[in-house]
């Protein structure tokens, strides 16, 4: 039995669909406040659905009972963040630490934890929470797999952070000349599932990126070609981002500007060694852009 934590989220939901396609017995942890439509979708996969919350350590005991492996994809950012209630401290750090403790106490053998790229290494709350959980998991005595994906296409090439393809307007952080290994969330989910039975994933940290490292300017060029029109681009200088981070008082704002500063510095990941052990067909930015164009009913 596999326990998926974060089952109604972007990555967790995709993990669940891939586990179901493989016929792997799965238990999905959902909160009392989870979207009922997403919960019903999990039940339709013939999963065992249990209610619990990382912020409630006691609720994790039953969730972990009888489980051989846990896949933790939870993050309060960017969509579930609620300061003081569901935030970086309560969920991303303390909650994931509770989960490690509960898994160890229940005799879980393997934990797959979704973090982010090792190149994201500035001092900000989300980065610090992720690295704290990584270190704690490594010392837990359980087999661990730490997934460190680069920037998700579904988030960083979306209007949520200023990449508005539908209106051909893009905000670029920094000068746009440093390559990033943009990755699709479905590919991260595939690595999570394959990690369950791959010897190469045992007590391993996997740095994950897409098939090619592309600069933000190159990505804009791809979208311009596919959508057939020029984009209006605005640059936020790295110095301005540093000032914004210093002035920010909310942990989510501090973390977003920290992530933007790391984006400005670039995050290129050579996937060739990893693909020898995990032959995943990685999604290219071109494919992601073409999919978005079809959704906008733009001929490609």
Which domains are present in the chain? 2-294 (3.40.50.720)
pLDDT value, residue 293: 86
pLDDT value, residue 175: 97
Task: Copy the structure tokens of residue 235.
Answer: 């640059």
For residue 2, the cross-strand partners are 26, 69
DSSP conformation class of 283: P
Angle at 39 between CA 54 and CA 80, to 5 degrees: 50
Question: Alpha-carbon distance 70 to 190, whole Å?
Answer: 15
On whether the CB atoms of residues 150 and 267 are closer than 8 A, the answer is: yes
Long-range contacts (CB closer than 8 Å, 24 or more residues apart) made by 46-55: 46/20, 47/7, 47/16, 47/20, 48/1, 53/95, 54/5, 54/91, 54/94, 54/95, 54/96, 54/98, 54/99, 55/86, 55/90, 55/91, 55/94, 55/95, 55/98
| DSSP-based three-state secondary structure for 236 | strand
Contacts for 103 with CB less than 8 Å, ≥ 6 apart: 60, 64, 67, 70, 111, 140, 142
Task: Copy the structure tokens of residue 135.
Answer: 């270190």
- Cβ atoms within 10 Å, residue 271: 22
DSSP conformation class of 282: P
pLDDT value, residue 294: 84
Question: Alpha-carbon distance 101 to 95, whole Å?
Answer: 10
pTM, 2 dp:
0.94
pLDDT value, residue 295: 82
Helices 10-22 & 36-44 angle (0-180, nearest 10): 20
As a whole number of Å, the CA-based R_g of the chain is 19
Phi, then psi, of 164 in degrees rounded to 5 = -100, 85
Question: Alpha-carbon distance 180 to 212, whole Å?
Answer: 8
Question: pLDDT tens string for the chain (300 positions)?
Answer: 999 999 999 999 999 999 999 999 999 999 888 889 999 999 999 999 999 999 899 999 999 999 999 999 998 876 676 776 678 998 999 999 999 999 999 999 999 999 999 999 999 999 999 999 999 999 999 999 999 999 999 999 999 999 999 999 999 999 999 999 999 999 999 999 999 999 999 999 999 999 999 999 999 999 999 999 999 999 999 999 999 999 999 999 999 999 999 999 999 999 999 999 999 999 999 999 999 888 876 665
Contacts for 228 with CB less than 8 Å, ≥ 6 apart: 298
For residue 70, the cross-strand partners are 3, 111
pLDDT value, residue 299: 61
Question: Alpha-carbon distance 9 to 189, whole Å?
Answer: 11
Q: Which of 125, 147, 155, 164 has the alpha carbon at shortest distance from 257? A: 125
């Amino acid at each position: 039995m596999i326990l998926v934590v974060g089952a109604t989220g972007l990555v967790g939901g995709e993990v669940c669909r891939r586990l179901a396609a493989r016929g792997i017995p799965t238990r999905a942890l959902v909160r009392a406040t989870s979207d009922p439509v997403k919960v019903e979708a999990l039940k339709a996969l013939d999963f065992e659905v249990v209610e619990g919350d990382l912020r409630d350590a006691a609720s994790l005991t039953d969730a972990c009972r009888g489980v051989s492996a846990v896949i933790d994809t939870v993050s309060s950012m960017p969509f579930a963040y609620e300061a003081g209630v569901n935030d970086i401290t309560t969920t991303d750090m303390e909650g994931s630490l509770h989960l490690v403790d509960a898994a160890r106490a229940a005799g879980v053998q393997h934990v797959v934890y979704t973090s982010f790229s090792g190149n994201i290494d500035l001092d900000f709350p989300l980065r610090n929470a992720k690295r704290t959980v990584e270190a704690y998991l490594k010392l837990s005595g359980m087999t661990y797999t730490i997934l460190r994906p680069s920037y998700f296409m579904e988030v960083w090439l979306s209007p949520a952070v200023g990449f508005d393809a539908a209106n051909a307007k893009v905000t670029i952080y920094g000068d746009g000349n440093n390559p990033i290994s943009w990755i699709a969330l479905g590919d991260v989910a595939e690595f999570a599932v394959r990690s369950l039975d791959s010897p190469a994933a045992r007590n391993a940290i996997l740095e994950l990126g897409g098939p090619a490292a592309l600069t933000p300017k190159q990505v804009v060029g791809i979208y311009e070609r596919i959508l057939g029109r020029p984009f209006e681009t605005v640059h936020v200088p790295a110095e301005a981002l540093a000032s914004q981070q210093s002035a920010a008082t909310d942990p989510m704002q501090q973390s977003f500007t920290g992530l933007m500063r790391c984006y400005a510095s670039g995050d290129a990941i050579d996937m060739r060694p990893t693909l020898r052990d995990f032959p995943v067909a990685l999604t290219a930015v071109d494919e992601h852009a073409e999919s978005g164009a079809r959704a906008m009913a733009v001929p490609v």
